[in-house]
Amino acid sequence: MRTNRKYKVLTFTFDEWNKIEKLAERCKMKTATFIKTAALKGKVFVIDLKENREYVTALNRIGQNINQIARIANETGYIHPDDLQRLEDFKEEICRISKSYQSKIQSLAA
């Protein structure tokens, strides 16, 4: 036994244990890790990015556009004022998408 740890024996009914195991599996966590996380943080959230494909796709598209502007700027040593405006627009779109995604996550947590 490690000396820098506190050990506590917990007792669960079979139904409780089965529920905990299923929740831990759903979170892709070991059972003990799930129990510790739930005890310390109060809640455990599973967010499947596949269900949020629209956010990921939008951010990927913005990233590709920013990379194109960066590539041209690096090749020419110059960035066109229109491209600077596009970068500002992308920044605003990223903020909008992030707020929308955060709002969705918070609604799931409520």
Task: Quote the CA–CA distance of 53 and 59 in Å, as a whole number.
Answer: 10
As given in the structure block, the two tokens for residue 90 are 């992308």
What's the gap between Cα 64 and its chain centre?
Answer: 20
Sorted by sequence, the CB contacts under 8 Å of residue 45 that are 6+ apart come out as 105, 108, 109
Q: How confident is the model at residue 49, as a pLDDT?
A: 67
Over residues 54-71, the pLDDT tens digits come to: 888 888 999 999 999 999
**pLDDT tens-digit readout, 15-45:** 999 999 999 998 889 999 999 999 998 877 7
Q: How far apart are CA 110 and CA 60, in angstroms?
A: 28
